[in-house]
Amino acid sequence: MAQTLVVKIGTSSLTQPETGLLALSTIASLVETLSGLRQQGHRVVLVSSGAVGVGCVRLGLSDRPRTIALKQAVAAVGQGRLIRVYDDLFTSLQQPIAQVLLTRNDLVQRNSYINIERTFRELLELGVIPIVNENDTVAVDELKFGDNDTLSALVASLVRADWLFLLTDVDRLYSADPRSHPDAQPIIWVDHINQLKELQVKMGDRGSRWGTGGMLTKIAAAQIATGAGVRTVITQGRYPKNIEKILKGESIGTQFEPQLRPVNARKRWIAHGPVPVGKLYLDEGAVRAIRDAGKSLLAAGIVQVEGTFESRDAVLLCDRTGQEIARGLVNYSSQELQKIKGSQSEAIATILGYPGAETVVHRDNLALS
């Protein structure tokens, strides 16, 4: 059965750790594997890191850039080199590719999100493998994905993928960083992200010399992807052919069980598109109404407002402890909510001096986490 696959490969797998030069044998194996999957009828998206690392080597830099301006310049140098290598290898197998560079801002606005979704749909229907990377050359710090693990999870949600493969420099998730804890225990299967808290997993939060992502970013990506109904796998990047084995049912790497996929496209965008700029803490009644009964959020259920935001901005809805339960587009500014929190809806006009919406976040503008 044809499926939609998103494969993310990190800088640590694409490059040689000692020199930072491209690991051409790994890239060739990846290209051969993805082309083969495409020929079997699967729809394939590749999210590839490496532009900054390749640019550093090209320019003779010994360390990853620390300033945004230098990183953007180095990425501009490296991205062209990286895509050329991919194009040469994919072309040798008669597999067309497309370069797609995204910034976080592209997914924040509903219209641009829909346009990107349509572009991916057309590319995949044409049999093209889109190669995605963050557009480091123009991305600003406050609207960056932060790492390509997060980007790949958001792309997997966008294209409604069946699988997300996170190819990294370890063979699977462990209870601690196996590079520094020889007794670390492998984790083969995760039914729900909360299991990892119970296991007290101690993930490494550092990437390689040339990359940015550690295991923590992969756990966060798995949480986004599984929440969008995408089965997620962490496995060894040096052996891309493992993807085919996993699809055939072999137990390789760490698999994360997907949760129920949001059926509403707008709610999928609310869950993963806008960047939340505030937080609302709710009482127990409001939490139950939203989580269990599918209700809208009313002012009466809000106990605390955090952050500065305007009407129509995205906010997190949390219980009293700060545990996120949902995300939504708010009908009031933070200043207004400070005045009306805990109040009944019919009192809002009197408190504010003008009529307002009955709901703070309408259920149509709310996505459970």
Q: Can you give the pLDDT of all 369 residues of the chain as single tens digits? A: 899 999 999 888 888 877 778 889 999 999 999 999 999 999 999 999 888 888 888 898 877 788 888 888 888 898 999 999 999 999 999 999 999 999 888 888 888 999 999 999 999 999 999 999 988 666 555 445 667 888 999 999 999 999 999 998 888 888 777 777 778 788 888 988 777 765 555 555 544 443 344 678 888 899 889 988 899 999 998 999 999 999 999 999 999 999 877 667 788 888 888 889 999 999 999 999 999 999 999 999 999 999 999 999 999 999 999 999 999 999 999 999 999 999 999 999 999 999 999 999 999 999 887
* Residues 100 and 235 both lie in one domain: yes
User: How would you label 254-269 residue by residue, b for 16+ Cβ within 10 Å and e otherwise?
Assistant: bbbebbeebeeebbbb
Q: Considering 247, 266, 285, which residue would you say is the last residue of a domain?
A: 266
Per-residue three-class SS string for 18-84: CCCCECHHHHHHHHHHHHHHHHCCCEEEEEECCHHHHHHHHHCCCCCCCCHHHHHHHHHHHHHHHHH
The reply to whether 338 falls in a domain is yes
| Together in a domain, 255 and 283 | no
Q: Which residues are within 8 A (CB) of 323 and not within 5 positions of it... i.e. 6 or more apart?
A: none
**Residue range(s) defining the domain that contains residue 85:** 4-266
Among 244, 266, 288, which residue terminates a domain? 266
Indicate whether 38 and 107 sit together in one domain.
Answer: yes
Tell me 247's DSSP state: H
- Tell me whether residue 192 is in a domain: yes
Question: CATH no. for residue 338?
Answer: 2.30.130.10
Tell whether 316 is covered by a domain: yes
Judgement on whether residues 319 and 179 belong to the same structural domain of the protein: no
Give the bridge partners for 22, in sequence order.
15
Question: In one letter, which amino acid is 97?
Answer: I
On whether both 262 and 299 belong to a single domain, the answer is: no
pTM recorded for the entire structure:
0.85
Pair (314, 256) in one structural domain: no
Q: Is 251 exposed, middle or buried (0-12, 13-18, 19+ CB in 10 A)?
A: exposed
> Which CATH number belongs to the domain containing residue 106 in this structure?
3.40.1160.10
For tokens 């601690």, name the residue.
176
Claim to verify: residue 208 and residue 100 sit in the same structural domain: yes
Residue type, 283: D
Tell me how far apart the terminal alpha carbons of the chain are, to the nearest angstrom: 30
Whether 10 contacts 49, CB under 8 Å = yes
Whether 12 and 129 share a structural domain: yes
Examine the domain organization and report whether 254 and 127 are in the same domain: yes
Domain assignment present for residue 271? The answer is no
Residues 249 and 290 in one domain: no
Q: Is 153 exposed, middle or buried (0-12, 13-18, 19+ CB in 10 A)?
A: buried
Structural domain tally of the chain?
Answer: 2
Q: Is 295 strand, coil or helix?
A: coil
Look at residue 169 and tell me if it is in a domain. Answer: yes
The burial of 28, by beta-carbon neighbours within 10 Å (0-12 exposed, 13-18 middle, 19 or more buried), is given as middle
Q: Is residue 355 part of a domain?
A: yes
Query: Which of 66, 79, 211 has the alpha carbon at shortest distance from 136?
Result: 79
Same domain (yes/no): 136, 244: yes
Q: Are residues 289 and 140 part of one domain?
A: no
Domain boundary (216, 244, 266) is at 266
Asked whether residue 168 is domain-assigned, the answer is: yes
Q: CA angle at residue 290 from 149 to 287, to 5 degrees?
A: 90
Alpha carbon of residue 153 to chain centroid:
3
